[in-house]
Amino acid sequence: MSRVFVTRRIPRVGLDRLAEESVRVRVGQPNDEAPVPRAVLEDGVRWCEVLLSLLTEPVDRALLTLNPALRGVANYAVGFNNIDVDAATELGIPVSNTPGVLTDTTADLTWALILAVARRIPEAHAYMTAGRYKLWGPNLLLGADVSPGGSGRRKVLGVIGYGRIGAAVARRAVGFDMDVLAYDPHARDRIDAAEHVRWAELDELLRRSDFVTLHPLLTPETRHLIDTRALQLMKRTAYLINVSRGPVVDEAALVHALRSHRIAGAALDVFEDEPAMAPGIAECDHVVLVPHIASASVDTRERMAVMAAENALAHLAGERAPNVINPEVYKSPAYRARLAHRR
């Protein structure tokens, strides 16, 4: 009988998919608001053949080394910065993620944030619910246009990180009559080939954009990509949106830029030291903050659960996982040794 350790509760359909194949499943933390204690995580990894992890669990070298029979890690997320993929590859452990299914849902949230921060929706909502609306007025809660609007000037959307999600965000900008710039050193070809998108170097993009939206993977290259220097290049009237990973932005530098009105506002789905927020950010004006919910639709989260389960089943069977991110591992002796491991 094969065993999958699921670190925290995923939607039922994913667990059912594993049960259909007679897999034994253990869930590390049944309480949705509590993390998995490290000791439980370690016990789980020793017990299982496949680890189904969430982005909240650091899957580091020490953890991966605990079990020579571990056949794979199936991450329930498209991002995989919580996993030491280099260590996994070296140890012969395939790692998979859940790409594609959450692209539209994440692009939609990005647009919800762009519109919410530009049009001050959270403030307006708080104004209503506090019973402060007494009289309509020409100066009440004025925001910024996303479309050409009153000025007739086409706004510029700057997309940093042009993977599936960045491209989906860019596509939606067509409906708002925006000019789209994109920067991604790994996607120059796709940016050049996209009809409504123009390539820009990072500094040019920062200087010209009215909305800068972040969609890269978190890597050493993109950590603090948006720092004091980058924020200083942005227009004073520009907004920053981050739905990628918190550490792409130097959050303390962002707080400073917001306080000193160096930029017009920011909308964040992710935080540098998640779930904590940088001191002062919650008190800033023109800020919209949401708790890492970019892929949080019922349908998408269910589909992610099934995908993660399918990947876990392939890892168990010693077959190529549909969404493996380190396929070179399949050729390694370390991987074959794992499949042969008996306990």
Instruction: Select 92 or 246, whichever has its Cβ closest to ligand GLV.
Output: 246
Alpha-carbon distance of 195 to 212, in angstroms, equals 19
Q: Residue from 10, 78, 264, 321 that binds ligand GLV (CB under 6 A)?
A: 78
What is the closest distance, in whole angstroms, from the C-beta atom of residue 295 to ligand GLV in the complex? 5
Pick the stretch among 73-81, 158-166, 181-189, 233-241 that binds ligand GLV (CB under 6 A): 73-81
Nearer to ligand GLV, 94 or 216 (CB): 216
Cβ proximity to ligand GLV: between 70 and 305 the closer is 305
Shortest distance, position 76 Cβ to ligand GLV, whole Å: 8
Active-site residue, from 21, 204, 274, 302: 274
Task: List the catalytic residue out of 8, 245, 303, 338.
Answer: 245
Task: Report whether 216 contacts 186 (CB < 8 A).
Answer: no
Among 15, 41, 70, 77, binds ligand GLV (CB under 6 A): 77
- Decide: is 79 part of the binding site for ligand GLV (CB under 6 A): yes
Shorter beta-carbon distance to ligand GLV: residue 2 or 75: 75
Q: In angstroms, give the least distance from the CB of 98 to ligand GLV.
A: 6
- Asked if 57 is an active-site residue, the reply is no
Site for ligand GLV in 81-140 (CB under 6 A): 102
Buried b (16+ CB within 10 A) or exposed e, 146-178: beeeeeeeebbbbbbbbbbbbbbbbbbbeebeb
22-61: contacts with ligand GLV (CB under 6 A): 55
Q: CB of residue 164 vs ligand GLV: minimum separation in angstroms?
A: 12
The C-alpha atoms of residue 26 and residue 163 are separated, in whole angstroms, by 34
| Nearest distance, CB of residue 231 and ligand GLV, angstroms | 23
Stretch that binds ligand GLV, among 74-82, 113-121, 164-172, 195-203 (CB under 6 A): 74-82
Task: Tell me the CA distances in angstroms from 45 to 27, 204, 281, one per residue in order.
Answer: 11, 47, 37
The nearest distance, CB 150 to ligand GLV, in angstroms, is 12
Question: Which residue number, 6 or 55, has a Cβ lying nearer to ligand GLV?
Answer: 55
Closer to ligand GLV by Cβ: residue 209 or 323: 323
- 33 as an active site residue: the answer is no
User: Is residue 274 among the annotated active site residues?
Assistant: yes
Known catalytic residues?
A: 245, 274, 292
Q: Which residues contact ligand GLV (rule: CB under 6 A)?
A: 55, 77-79, 102, 295
